[in-house]
Structure formats: C-alpha cells, structure tokens
C-alpha cells in the first residue's frame, strides 16, 4: 500500500466512504478550474461536510506530508484551485449552509460552499444584499471568493471581497481551527483577516465566513452611452470620476466586444458604436437623480452620440446582458481566446488601450476589450485560432505583453482573478526580492512545510528554513538565527 | 563602556551628534505618551531624519540586541509608545515632509512625522481631505495613526486609518526597508498592509505612508439634539442607522459630560438635557437635504425635546467644541479620571449604559460618557480623586469592569486607542490561546528576537523558537519542526 493509499483509507474512515474519491475517472472531473488550459488530476478528492472534517483532512495530510489544495465551485480564472498530482483536493462545496442572517448588525455568517448569489437572496427579504458580484456569482462560492479576493462590476463603489469579510473561521495549514476577526470592525491585535483574504489557499481553508451585508439602495439608475471610440469613452470615465461622482459601476466594451455580444445575445446596443459605457448609479433617490443628470451631461460633452436610459428593470437587465455575456460571447467570433486581467491607473486608459491596439496589430491577433473602466481593471480578450500554426503562441505573447504594459503604467498583474498557477511567473516583474521574501515570511510562519496549495502565487517553490543545498526563504533576515 | 554606551556612540556617528539623546534630564521628556500613568525613561532617544537613518538605527539595535520602540507625537492613549528602560526610543517626528499630493489618483504620500491635520491642509486646495480625524488631529502624526489604526468621530462613515492607507515603506524589525501596497488598490500577494496598520510598532516602523484622499463633501449639515436621557438618545441612534442613513458622525454625551463641557468651554447646550446627540451628515447636497429631514424626524420620534440645526460654520464649530473638549473638560469637575475605550454592538447601547451606571453606583465613583454612538465606541470617563484613599482602586476596578461588559456583549477591548502597554492584560479575555498563538506566528516571522516594541499588545513576553527553559511560541504547530 502506498502512502497515498493509506491516506485515502484514513480519510474514508474519518469522513465516510462516499466523501473520498480515488477513482481515476471521477477524479478527472476535478482536473481544472475555470482556467481550463492547466489540467492536473489530483491523487485524492475529499468532500468534507463540516469544519471539523476539513480540519481532520488537513491534519491527515500534514501527518502524511502530502500537499493539499482547496477548491470551491471551481470557477476561478487563474488556476488557483489547480490540483496537485500527488496531493489531496479538498472540495468545500458540501459546506453550504447559511448559518445566520443578522440585518441589525448588517452581517451574515455562511459556510464556504454557499454560492455568492445565495447570500444576497437570503438578505434581500431584510432589505440587504451582498455587494461583491463576480460575473460568476450564480455559481461561484464564498469560500472561493475569500481565497481569491474576488471583485465584480460593482466593486468600483463597494470594494472587493476583502472589504466585505469581517470574520473567519479557518483551518490553518497545521490542521488547527482558528478564528480571526468577528462581527465587529477592527478588533485589536494583528489584522490577519486582510492577509488571509486573497491568500489563494496558501494560508489555510476558510470554513465559516462572516460577511458584511449592504443596504439595498433606494434607487438604481442605469444608462448606456455609445461613443465613436474608446478614447471618448475613456475620457467620459475620467470626467465622471473627476467630478466626484462614484457610480456603482462604469463598464466599457469596445467594438469587437460589442460585435461578439450582439452575435450571442442580441442585446441591441446602438449601431455604429466604437465603444459603449454602461454607467449605473445607486443610492438615495435624491442623490441618484442629481448625479444622473451630471453623468449624462459629461457623457455628451465627452462625445457620446447616443445615450439610453433604462426605463425599467427589463431594459436595465438587457444593458447588463450584453456586458455579462461578453466573455462567453467571443466564442461566436473566434474559436479560441485568452481572458487577461490587469489593472492600470484610470488616467492611463486611453494610452494603454492604444498600445494594446498596436500590440494586437504587431502580433497579427485581435483583442476585444470588456472591462471595469471605473477602476482601470482591464479584461482584454485575445482572440486566436488554435488551428492556425503559431497563432496560439502569438496570442500568448500579446497577452503577456499586456501585463507588461500594466506594470509599466504603474498598475497590477491582476485585478480580481488572482495570481494562482497562471501568473506566479509575473510576480517578480511586479515585486522585488525583498517584497517577495517578506510575503514568504508570512507563508512560512503558517505553512513551514509548504503543503498548502504549493506552486501558487509565488514564482519558485522556495522552502522555509535552512535545508542543505536548498534555497533559504529567510533572506530578508540575513543576520537572524535560522528559524 | 557598556553596550548601550557603544550603541549610542555608533548612532551618533551614523546620524549626527544632535540626533541622539542620552542626557538623563532630556530623556525624561520622552518617558510617557498620552497615557501618563505609565512612565519609563528610555536609555537612548534617536531622532532620524530619513528612512535610511531609521533603518540604520534599527540595524544597530538588532546587532546590539537592544529593544527599540517607535514614537510619533506621543499622543497615544494606550502606552503604545511607552519606552523600554534598556532600549532605544526612535522618534519619527523629524520626518515631516509631505512628499506628494496626487488628487487625480486621490492619494498623498507623506513621511510618518507629518501631522494628521497637515495632510488635510495640503489636500484642501485640490478639493480633498484626509478622512480619519482623531480628536488629537492637530498634533498626532500619521506614523502614530498607522501604528494604532486610529479612528475619530467621522470613522462611522469613512472607516479607520486602515481603510485610508494604500501603501507603506517601513523598516522591518531586521533593519531592512520594505515596501508593501502602493497607490493602486489590492495588489496581488499577501495583503500585509492590513496586518501592519494597527500592529503598534511590533512589525516595524513606517517611514513613508501613501494615504487615500477623500473628496470634500458638497454639503455638510450638523444638528444637536437634546434628550431627557441616554436611553432616548440611544434609541435615536439605532433608529437612524436602521433607517439606512449613514451619518458622517453620531456623537453622544451624557449629563455629566455635558456639565463638564459647559464648565470648561461654555458651549451652551440645551439646559436640562440628560443626553445630547451631535449628528453630522455630509455628501451631495440633494442627499444631505433629504436625509437631514429624516434624521430630524427620527430624533423627535425618539424623544428629543430640542433640536438645533447649525446655521453656519461658527455654530457647527460650537456644537463640536463641547464634544471635542469633553475629555480635557472633566478636569473641571474631577481632580482625576481614567479614559476608557471599548466597543459594543450598537444595538446593546441602552443595556450597557445602564450597566455602567450600576457599576459606578456599586463602586461609588462617577462615570461620564462621551462617545461615538454610531459605531458603539464607548469612551467612559471614570472620575475619581486620588487624594481619597481607595478611590483610585475603585475607579480602576470600574474601568476594568466596563471592558468586561464590552466583551460580554460581543464587543471589543479597544475601539481606537489600541492595546499598547495598558490593555495587553485584557487580550486573553478576548482571544483564545490558538488565536493569540496565530498572531504570535506573524510577530515571530518578522521579529524573531522580540526587539520591536516588546511588552506591547501581547499579554506575556513569549519568545520565538525553541530555547531551553523558555516558553515556545509555536504552540499552534505542536507537530511542526522548530523554526
């Protein structure tokens, strides 16, 4: 019996036989997350039903020195939940109870497998909702959102997952159950909550999440503005923010993205648009009404040739349908595509979009742009045909060069999809050795054996502590004792 | 020559002779911060002018194995900057340049010694301000605010310091200069920024702070509502929040606090009030006007017998003068007092205030209540006369019992003053061993020798790593290798 066989037997004994998968065919279901071009079949899949079972799985892994990877709904786009071939994939999807909704404290407590949209559904009868809204909100889980610090269209005004989690119970990489934060804001001691949210499974596995609920706005108004091109739409975005208006969302789509959306869902956007903006305002009715007029005027002044105002929820839904289907829709106009995710300062939008155009032309590929314009979070879709020799490579090169552009303009290699397996290689382009070493200090403190989601986030699998012939992680403290 | 003499000589050589203090009389200036009942004269005071000099001081301390404590303006109320008798006090007050104001990115970059209010002064010409506003904002420094995660009256709407810092350069406890965060939101990798802000000097010393600037509101309106007692004022607070209104501030003062403020600054609050609320709304004029009517109505419904609306900036300043002078003002009605700082869920305000009354009666002391009602952040002032035998002890007991009440009601041992030297003893009442051990993991990763502000935050000076006969910090990982 191999060590992994022994581990599987132990897990079956602790969890029950139907909560542990080792059949090769069944394991293949879990070989990738939303980033399907990385595929690894895990050795074992465990499906714990409780926090205690999750802790038991991690403890068993630690004792067997087997790596483990957590997975929620598997919708991540950076390969953060990519399994380890010799490891255990811990699927949190079975932990899907909403443990409590406390509108008087503006909090809900949920298990990690609860679907993002379910939190909003549970809160709505009380006049509240859960603000972070990834496009995948109908299927992605809160545990995955916590791991990746997920964003969404409305994060411009409301912030990311990290701004909406106030407490966590999690299984630390040694198998202990720990609580950090709580219902109240800013408890004393170190704020480990911020470090945990977005740590992509490398500091542990969340087993209970306390989230902030946001009051449903009194009023929501949405407009769709059509511009001759992205320059004018970018200028309108800057003008709106510069005027001190903070819309709930400002989303941009360029001509190619509009073409794809029309082909897929016939959203009926204005003909001849080189770019459209969807601007949504929410809040007290008096505020929204006053600011809506301001936004409309600024779009006109920036060159909008048509502005439509959603008359009702149905029209509002139609505006969003084109935007929300855009990623999938590019399948209508290209056999293959890469979704990139980068951030630039809002003020650099026109220059960067022009440079992306240049890059696409140089490499002979097309790039459709669909993005959160308000916070400079680009989602260029690099289109290619895998059947044409060399195109995939040119698309990959273009996608990588876009990340270089983001860094060059003072932005970031990821806005909301995370680093995962996909972007670990870019981390040294954004951070110096001292910066990465400082992050590594935290990782090593929590996971000295490097068993929690190894190979994610950090470019090289650096090891903690002094081991002969291996890299020492604690370079940041050259004079300190080995620890 | 002792080790400390040698260290002082080295610091003089590196910084310049006038930047190092060892004269006993001069050292006494630094023996306490704003919490004056703890006093320790440091062995050496260093006054670095730059980040590089700060790093040099820390490196020298590490090599000499001498503890170091950072101090900004020395206004802290929990003894976080209390010196170490055999250590170096590193005063950051000389680093007071504003390095840049970038309204287009809504950011300012400042040195740690810059005074809180100076950031707002630098931003105002551009239409912005710095939102966190401790009562000491005319003298407290940004570096101190970062260390203590300082709050203020307007944190109800705008959040604490941690919500307004997006990037830091700091000297790690090994003497290396490190950068975390930046101008943009949520960079990839671990969010160490959240852990650093509020770490009270135990993870390093900030040498450059990038802060978020907030747009000056179009409109500000302030009312003063007088109630028969704190029950009605508490009910009004709950009613305002429950209505979905988020005022910039909701401040409460009880009868004793009003009496003190009147004696000190003649603020002319309505006669016969058992409690007053100051409610301030800011934002777009349309929103403020609509919500102001709502707040006025809710105060009346909750039992306000007089509501005054500030007609101009002068009247608004008068409303605030009573509130802001309240701490100092109790000196008019009592020879001695303790300022307590605790948090309770807003909904528990009436019960807790009643229990504080009971406690005061049992212990034969008076308690004046002045606090941030909107976020449940109490500041009970326990009055006593040190000349009366036993009164100081009874006041201390009352103050401690109030913290027990806060914990019992699901709140926190500190809202905004920090743990420091004063409240380390309460940490085990709020956190379990596993929670504290988890925090200790981070501390040990950054500061394995325990030289950075030892004795603060954590109840017992636990040591990192395995040393014969000493306590092992890594209890959370009983099976892990010694690190």
The pLDDT tens digits along chain B (483 residues) read 689 999 999 999 999 999 999 999 999 999 999 988 889 999 999 999 999 999 999 999 999 999 999 999 999 999 999 999 999 999 999 999 999 999 988 999 999 999 999 999 999 999 999 999 998 999 999 999 999 999 998 999 999 999 999 999 999 999 999 999 887 766 788 989 999 999 999 999 999 999 999 999 999 999 999 999 999 999 999 899 888 899 999 999 999 999 999 999 999 999 999 999 999 999 988 889 989 999 999 999 999 999 999 999 999 999 999 998 888 888 889 999 999 999 998 888 889 999 999 999 999 999 999 989 988 999 999 999 999 999 999 999 999 999 999 999 988 999 889 999 999 999 998 888 888 888 889 999 999 999 999 999 998 756 676 432 333 333 322 332 222
Identify whether the C-beta of residue B330 lies closer than 8 Å to the C-beta of residue B383. yes
Nearest-neighbour CA in chain B from A26: distance (Å): 33
pLDDT of residue B100: 96
String of b and e for A464-480 (b: at least 16 CB within 10 Å)? bbeeeeeeebbebbeee
Tokens of A423: 């972007």
pLDDT of residue B181: 87
Average pLDDT over every residue of A259-288: 93
Domain for residue A481, yes or no? no
Note whether A239 and A345 are same-domain residues. no
Residue of A nearest to B63 (CA): A479
Q: Which residues of B fall within a CB distance of 8 Å from A63? A: 479
Q: A410 and B183 in contact by Cβ < 8 A?
A: yes
CATH of the domain at A115: 3.30.465.10
pLDDT of residue B149: 95
From A104, A198, A284, residue closest to B290, measured CB to CB:
A284
From B172, B183, B442, residue closest to A190, measured CB to CB:
B442
Nearest-neighbour CA in chain B from A212: distance (Å): 14
Nearest-neighbour CA in chain A from B415: distance (Å): 8
From A193, A287, A431, residue closest to B284, measured CB to CB:
A287
Q: Which residues of B fall within a CB distance of 8 Å from A439? A: 189-190, 192
Q: Which of B183, B216, B249 delimits the end of a domain?
A: B216
- Provide the number of structural domains found in chain B: 3
Q: A188 and B430 in contact by Cβ < 8 A?
A: yes
From B190, B411, B441, residue closest to A199, measured CB to CB:
B190
Q: How many residues does chain B have?
A: 483
Q: B178 and A476 in contact by Cβ < 8 A?
A: yes
Burial class (CB in 10 A: 0-12, 13-18, 19+), A244: middle
Q: Which residues of A fall within a CB distance of 8 Å from B425? A: none
Q: B345 and A183 in contact by Cβ < 8 A?
A: yes
pLDDT of residue A462: 61
Note whether A184 and A162 are same-domain residues. yes
Residue of B nearest to A446 (CA): B441
Q: Which of A45, A70, A91 delimits the end of a domain?
A: A91
Q: A194 and B198 in contact by Cβ < 8 A?
A: no
Q: A480 and B187 in contact by Cβ < 8 A?
A: no
From B189, B195, B445, residue closest to A191, measured CB to CB:
B195
CATH of the domain at B238: 3.30.70.2190
Nearest-neighbour CA in chain A from B298: distance (Å): 17
From B376, B413, B445, residue closest to A442, measured CB to CB:
B445
Note whether A230 and A280 are same-domain residues. yes
Residue of A nearest to B64 (CA): A479
Residue of A nearest to B218 (CA): A244
Q: A410 and B215 in contact by Cβ < 8 A?
A: no
pLDDT tens, A342-381? Answer: 999 888 888 999 999 999 999 999 999 998 998 899 999 9
Taking the C-alpha atoms of residue B65 and residue B62, their distance in angstroms, rounded to an integer, is: 5
Nearest-neighbour CA in chain A from B62: distance (Å): 9
CATH of the domain at A392: 3.30.70.2740
pLDDT of residue A138: 92
Q: B192 and A439 in contact by Cβ < 8 A?
A: yes
- pLDDT surpasses 80 at A50: yes
Note whether B51 and B180 are same-domain residues. yes
Q: B412 and A188 in contact by Cβ < 8 A?
A: yes
Which range is least confidently modeled, A175-189, A345-359, A379-393? A175-189
Taking the C-alpha atoms of residue B127 and residue B119, their distance in angstroms, rounded to an integer, is: 12
Note whether A437 and A426 are same-domain residues. no
Note whether B209 and B243 are same-domain residues. no
Q: Which residues of B fall within a CB distance of 8 Å from A286? A: 286-287, 289-290
Note whether B212 and B222 are same-domain residues. no
Average pLDDT over every residue of A10-37: 94
pLDDT of residue B138: 92
Domain for residue A483, yes or no? no
Note whether B105 and B170 are same-domain residues. yes
Note whether B92 and B160 are same-domain residues. yes
Taking the C-alpha atoms of residue A422 and residue A342, their distance in angstroms, rounded to an integer, is: 13
Q: Which residues of A fall within a CB distance of 8 Å from B472? A: none
Taking the C-alpha atoms of residue A449 and residue B483, their distance in angstroms, rounded to an integer, is: 11
Nearest-neighbour CA in chain A from B332: distance (Å): 32
Note whether B127 and B166 are same-domain residues. yes
pLDDT of residue B385: 93
pLDDT of residue A130: 98
Range of the domain at B290: 217-329
* More confident of the two residues B295 and A430: B295
- pLDDT surpasses 80 at A467: no
Name the H helices within A371-432.
391-408, 427-430
Which range is least confidently modeled, A147-161, A462-476, B247-261? A462-476
The closest alpha carbon to A326, from A375, A376, A265, belongs to A265
Residue percentage of chain A with pLDDT more than 90: 76
- pLDDT surpasses 70 at A118: yes
pLDDT of residue B470: 31
Domain for residue A482, yes or no? no
Domain for residue A253, yes or no? yes
Note whether A319 and A415 are same-domain residues. no
Tokens of A136: 């995948």
- pLDDT surpasses 90 at A290: no
From A203, A419, A480, residue closest to B188, measured CB to CB:
A419
pLDDT of residue A12: 97
pLDDT of residue B346: 82
Domain for residue B420, yes or no? no
Q: Which residues of A fall within a CB distance of 8 Å from B63? A: 479
Domain for residue A352, yes or no? yes
Non-local (6+) Cβ contacts of B219 within 8 A are: B282, B283, B284, B285, B288, B289
Average pLDDT over every residue of A32-40: 90
Domain for residue B195, yes or no? yes
Average pLDDT, chain A: 91
Domain for residue A68, yes or no? yes
The closest alpha carbon to B343, from A182, A93, A462, A366, belongs to A182
Average pLDDT over every residue of A452-456: 95
Note whether A159 and A191 are same-domain residues. yes
DSSP character string of B67-102? -EEEESSS--SS-TTPPPTTSEEEE-TT---EEEEE
Taking the C-alpha atoms of residue B257 and residue A193, their distance in angstroms, rounded to an integer, is: 36
Which range is least confidently modeled, A323-332, A462-471, B63-72, B230-239? A462-471
Nearest-neighbour CA in chain B from A190: distance (Å): 5
Q: What is the DSSP letter of B28?
A: G
Nearest-neighbour CA in chain B from A23: distance (Å): 31
pLDDT band at A470 (very low <50, low <70, confident <90, very high): very low
């Amino acid at each position: 019996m191999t060590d992994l066989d022994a581990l599987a037997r132990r897990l079956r004994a602790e969890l029950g036989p139907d909560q542990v998968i080792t059949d090769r065919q069944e394991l293949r279901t879990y070989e990738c997350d939303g980033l399907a071009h990385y595929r690894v079949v895990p050795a074992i899949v465990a499906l714990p039903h409780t926090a205690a079972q999750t802790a038991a799985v991690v403890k068993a892994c630690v004792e067997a020195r087997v790596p483990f990877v957590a997975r929620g709904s598997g919708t991540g786009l950076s390969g953060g939940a990519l399994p380890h071939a010799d490891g255990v994939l811990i699927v949190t999807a079975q932990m899907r109870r909403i443990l409590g909704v406390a509108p008087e404290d503006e909090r809900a407590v949920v298990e990690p497998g609860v679907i993002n949209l379910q939190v909003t559904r549970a809160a709505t009868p009380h006049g509240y909702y859960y603000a972070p809204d990834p496009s995948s909100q109908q299927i992605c889980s809160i545990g995955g959102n916590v791991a990746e610090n997920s964003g969404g269209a409305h994060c411009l005004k409301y912030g990311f997952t990290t701004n909406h989690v106030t407490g966590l119970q999690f299984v630390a990489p040694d198998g202990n159950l720990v609580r950090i934060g709580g219902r109240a804001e800013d408890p004393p001691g170190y704020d480990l909550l911020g470090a945990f949210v977005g740590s992509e499974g490398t500091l542990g596995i969340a087993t209970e999440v306390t989230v902030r609920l946001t009051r449903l706005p009194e009023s929501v108004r949405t407009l769709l503005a059509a511009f001759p091109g992205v320059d004018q739409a970018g200028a309108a975005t800057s003008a709106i923010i510069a005027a001190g208006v903070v819309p709930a969302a400002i989303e941009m789509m360029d001509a190619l993205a509009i073409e794809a959306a029309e082909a897929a869902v016939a959203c009926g956007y204005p003909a001849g648009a080189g770019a459209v903006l969807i601007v949504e305002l929410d809040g007290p009715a008096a505020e929204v009404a006053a600011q809506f007029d301001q936004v409309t005027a600024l779009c006109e002044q920036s060159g909008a040739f048509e502005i439509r105002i959603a008359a009702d929820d149905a029209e509002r839904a139609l505006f969003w349908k084109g935007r929300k289907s855009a990623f999938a829709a590019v399948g209508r106009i290209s056999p293959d595509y890469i979704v990139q995710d980068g951030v630039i300062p809002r003020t650099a939008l026109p220059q960067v979009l022009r440079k992306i155009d240049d890059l696409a032309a140089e490499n002979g590929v097309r790039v459709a742009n669909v993005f959160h314009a308000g916070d400079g979070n680009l989602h260029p879709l690099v289109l290619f045909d895998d059947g044409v020799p060399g195109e995939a490579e040119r698309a990959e090169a273009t996608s990588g060069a876009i990340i270089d552009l983001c860094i060059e303009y003072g932005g970031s290699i990821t806005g909301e999809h995370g680093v995962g397996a996909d972007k670990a290689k870019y981390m040294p382009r954004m951070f110096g050795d001292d910066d990465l070493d400082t992050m590594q200090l935290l990782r090593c403190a929590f996971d000295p054996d490097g068993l929690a989601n190894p190979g994610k986030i950090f470019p090289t699998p650096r090891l903690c502590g002094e081991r002969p012939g291996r890299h020492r992680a604690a370079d940041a403290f050259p004079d300190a004792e080995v620890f």
